[in-house]
Amino acid sequence: MILRIFFICSILLLTSCYEPKRDCEHFKTGEFSFTTVINGEEKTTTFFRNDKIEIDYFDGKVDTSSVRWINNCEYILKKLHPKSMAEEKAIHMKILSTTNDSYFFEYNIVGDANKSKGTVFKTN
C-alpha cells in the first residue's frame, strides 16, 4: 500500500513539472503554412511574417496585417486594409508549444472568449 502511494505521488510530481517546449523566437519570422477545415473543405493558408508585417495568401487573395508582439510567444494581428467590419477586429495569437518546424497555438478575436487552436508549419 505504501509503495503504491509512493508510486502515484512520484508520477504526479513528475508530470506536474512538465512544461511544453516554447522556442517562440524561432517562429517570429519566416514562411509558414496553416491548414484548417472550413465548411467541410480543407483549406491552406500560406504566409510570410517579419517582426512587424504578416502577408497571407488564402484562396487566391492576398492580405496584409500588422504584427504587434506582446511578449515572446503572443502577438496581435490587425488587417491593414479591412474590407468589412469583421475584418477590422484584431486577432490575439498565442503560441502554446513548439517543435523544430511547427508550433501549436490558440487564437481568438480580441475581446471574444471563444478560442480556436491549430498548428502552423514553418516552410523555409
On whether residue 60 sits in a domain, the answer given is yes
Residue 12 has pLDDT above 80, yes or no: no
On whether residue 1 sits in a domain, the answer given is no
Residue 7 has pLDDT above 60, yes or no: no
Average pLDDT value over all residues in the chain: 87
Which CATH number characterizes residue 50's domain? 2.40.128
Q: How many Cα atoms occupy the beta-carbon half-sphere of 65 within 13 Å? A: 21
- Tens digits of residue pLDDT in 57-101: 999 999 999 999 999 999 999 999 998 998 899 999 999 999 999
Residue 5 has pLDDT above 80, yes or no: no
Between CA 14 and CA 106 the distance in angstroms is 26
- What is the model's pLDDT at position 15? 53
- CB contact at 8 A, 47 and 57: yes
